[in-house]
A and B are shown apart, each in its own frame.
Chain A
């Protein structure tokens, strides 16, 4: 019996070496490849070109991928729990679009104020998430209706973003990679500021993961067990918006991680959110770094934005999920 209890934790532990391997590959591989030995050597020699590549390009990119992947995946897991809808994901229901609008406004008004980007992205994400939550709470809308409401709000927000791009044509190039989602020009400063918001939110999501299990029993059952349902839902939505906002503030509108990674986590670890939340964080980080690496290597020396790779991989995986469960429901 003990073995049964330990095995999920053991499997969770197995994700750590996987992530470590992807992190190392992300530092070593690219247009200028480094062996592990060279990686170690360049750390000793700050004057070497490899050191500069590592610290100004690869390290920020790797840390950015870690943070954005973990944040978006956990954001998706939280939204799916709160809305009790496995089709919810920050990019599906408009949370990413809201975050993008906030970030774009900062880019347009004061391009140098990138420190404000996470806060602006968070504000945009929160507004979108609260709108969807209000639709869910006041209309008792079905799961499909909620997703449709998300698509509708995404469309309105994307139109607003397109307006800003029209009024500020100089943003066109930056907006293109922003709307696709890219880690190409991420700086340590940007990642550091986003981490200030995202890391405490990730920690809090882990702390609340037990109570997310109670919420998953449904509103009435959870309330009868003594959970303050509305208070918890609000906290989880704010956390989800903080996480999506932090990721979007430097990575742009990276899709699919928030929708699909929690699915994979549930497939591997079952429905216990105490495992799903940390597994989503680890798998999300690994998935984003891996897709970024693929984008760098597939057509080198040309580079594909991570958003493009994710759209292809994520889209195919999503269709696979639908085919696998034909006639059934996504859990």
Chain B
């Protein structure tokens, strides 16, 4: 689906990450984690086509990303940035905007477009919010509505930048559950997460970026935890805790006592 070859990212002449080689197939989820400023968002923006690569290349279904026309790319890849405007429109109207890349010159929605909007509304459980103004919604509700817009876009690749930031724990879980549903529908999902517990609990595959913007660990959450690199990169002590039902959870503690 998407392949990164020796990718170098950055902006305004500043290189943030170098030599990134990755490959992700449809129906799989990849979570990017790393300390602040390591280049996670910049990498995601490069994959969305918002920033040009500073070196290497990005192949989307075997074709270089830059060879796609803008609307053609929007039918292949959806990108949900972390910071967004909140226009004074209804949730339903926002979800309908997800169909923009599919609309013709008249901008009229077809039955197919309306069906995609309904499906996205059902999948994200925002039916009760349909006619509410975006400005009247809570952060978690708004995030679900924006996710519904990206789902209505019906793309094979979905890029989510910090979808859980500023949300309470229940809303974060809901957002992650929606991301999982997207994978189940066959989309490849790449997301950045700030919360390490969420990242380790919900991801199929983790990519850990160090402060130099290099991917230093790539694998299952268990494998990344076992590598010990989480402790090194974040300067914390990670511990795996086995719950009574056998599931594994992770807790993070300050590494030195003088941090208290």
The answer to whether B70 and A228 touch across the interface, beta carbons within 8 angstroms, is yes
Contacts of B50 in A (CB 8 A): 220, 223-224
Contacts of B112 in A (CB 8 A): none
Within 8 A of B (CB), among A222-266: 223-228, 266
Interface of A is mostly: loop
The answer to whether B89 and A213 touch across the interface, beta carbons within 8 angstroms, is yes
Known: A225-B153, A270-B88. A214 touches B74 (CB 8 A): no
CB distance from B249 to the nearest CB of A (A): 34
Q: What is the CA–CA distance of A220 and B49 in the complex, to the nearest angstrom?
A: 10
The answer to whether A227 and B100 touch across the interface, beta carbons within 8 angstroms, is yes
Most chain A beta carbons < 10 A, residue from B70, B74, B93: B70
Contacts of A325 in B (CB 8 A): none
Q: What is the CA–CA distance of A227 and B81 in the complex, to the nearest angstrom?
A: 15
Q: What is the CA–CA distance of A3 and B186 in the complex, to the nearest angstrom?
A: 37
Contact with A along B125-140 (1 / 0, CB 8 A): 0000001010100000
CB distance from B152 to the nearest CB of A (A): 10
Contacts of A213 in B (CB 8 A): 87, 89, 93, 97
Q: What is the CA–CA distance of A220 and B146 in the complex, to the nearest angstrom?
A: 13
The answer to whether A216 and B71 touch across the interface, beta carbons within 8 angstroms, is no
The answer to whether B74 and A220 touch across the interface, beta carbons within 8 angstroms, is no
Among B87, B89, B97, the residue within 8 A (CB) of A225 is B97
| In the complex, A217 has a CB within 8 A of chain B | yes
Contact with A along B99-112 (1 / 0, CB 8 A): 01100000100000
Q: How large is the interface on B (under 10, 10 to 19, 20 to 34, 35 or more residues)?
A: 20 to 34
CB distance from B151 to the nearest CB of A (A): 13
Q: What is the CA–CA distance of A100 and B58 in the complex, to the nearest angstrom?
A: 50
Among B71, B85, B131, the residue within 8 A (CB) of A226 is B71
List 11 A-B residue pairs with CB atoms under 8 Å apart, sorted by A's residue number.
A210-B107, A214-B100, A218-B83, A220-B84, A221-B81, A223-B70, A224-B81, A225-B153, A226-B100, A226-B101, A331-B135
Binding site for A on B (CB under 8 A): 45, 48-50, 70-75, 77-81, 83-85, 87-90, 93-94, 97-98, 100-101, 107, 131, 133, 135, 153
Closest to A231 in B: B70
Known: A4-B131, A223-B70. A217 touches B88 (CB 8 A): no
Q: What is the CA–CA distance of A253 and B50 in the complex, to the nearest angstrom?
A: 40
Closest to B75 in A: A226
Contacts of B79 in A (CB 8 A): 220-221, 224
Q: What is the CA–CA distance of A266 and B79 in the complex, to the nearest angstrom?
A: 28
Contacts of A272 in B (CB 8 A): 89, 93
Contacts of B90 in A (CB 8 A): 270
The 7 tightest CB contacts between A and B, nearest first, are: A226-B74, A271-B88, A226-B71, A218-B85, A224-B79, A226-B101, A220-B81
Closest to A216 in B: B87
Closest to A207 in B: B107
Known: A214-B100, A218-B84, A270-B133. A224 touches B89 (CB 8 A): no
Q: What is the CA–CA distance of A271 and B98 in the complex, to the nearest angstrom?
A: 17
Q: A217-B94, A221-B80 are in contact. List 7 more A-B contacts (CB 8 A).
A: A214-B97, A217-B84, A218-B81, A218-B85, A220-B45, A220-B83, A226-B72
Q: What is the CA–CA distance of A214 and B131 in the complex, to the nearest angstrom?
A: 19
Contacts of B48 in A (CB 8 A): 220, 224
Contacts of B131 in A (CB 8 A): 4
Among A4, A84, A225, A227, the residue within 8 A (CB) of B85 is A84
CB distance from B4 to the nearest CB of A (A): 18
Q: What is the CA–CA distance of A270 and B98 in the complex, to the nearest angstrom?
A: 19
Known: A214-B97, A218-B81, A221-B81. A226 touches B70 (CB 8 A): yes
The answer to whether A217 and B74 touch across the interface, beta carbons within 8 angstroms, is no
Q: What is the CA–CA distance of A216 and B191 in the complex, to the nearest angstrom?
A: 24
Contacts of B83 in A (CB 8 A): 218, 220
Q: What is the CA–CA distance of A266 and B135 in the complex, to the nearest angstrom?
A: 14
Q: What is the CA–CA distance of A331 and B88 in the complex, to the nearest angstrom?
A: 8
CB distance from B187 to the nearest CB of A (A): 15
CB distance from B45 to the nearest CB of A (A): 8
CB distance from B72 to the nearest CB of A (A): 8
Contacts of B74 in A (CB 8 A): 224-226
Most chain A beta carbons < 10 A, residue from B50, B74, B79, B88: B88
Contact with B along A204-220 (1 / 0, CB 8 A): 00000011011011101
Within 8 A of B (CB), among A19-70: none
